[in-house]
Amino acid sequence: MIYYISSKQNSKIKDLLSLYKSNIREKERKFVVEGFHLLEMALINNKVEAIFTLKEINSIPENIPQYIINEDILNKISLLKNSQGVLAVVSFNEEKPISSNKVLYLDDVSDPGNLGTILRTALAFSYKDIIVSKNTCSIYNEKVIQASQGAIFKLNIIKKDYTYLKELKDYLVIATEIKGSITLDELVKKDKFVLVLGNESHGVRNEILSLSDIRLRIDIKDIESLNVAIAGAILMYELK
List per-residue pLDDT tens for the chain, 240 residues long: 999 999 999 999 999 999 999 999 999 999 999 999 999 999 998 899 999 999 999 989 999 999 999 999 999 999 999 999 999 999 999 999 999 999 999 999 999 999 999 999 999 999 999 999 999 999 999 999 999 999 999 999 999 999 999 999 999 999 999 888 988 889 988 999 999 999 999 999 999 999 999 999 998 888 888 999 999 999 999 998
Determine the Cα–Cα distance for residues 187 and 170; give it in Å rounded to an integer: 17
Q: Which of 113, 138, 74 is nearest to 200 (CA)?
A: 113
Stated pTM of the model:
0.91
**CB atoms near residue 100 (< 10 Å):** 12
Strands ordered across the beta sheet of 156-159: 156-159, 129-132, 102-106, 193-197, 172-176, 214-217, 182-183
Determine the Cα–Cα distance for residues 143 and 6; give it in Å rounded to an integer: 27
Quick check: 173 and 211 in contact, CB under 8 A? Answer: yes
Stretch (H or E) spanning 49 = strand 48-53
Q: Which domains, and CATH codes, for the chain?
A: 2-91 (3.30.1330.30), 102-239 (3.40.1280.10)
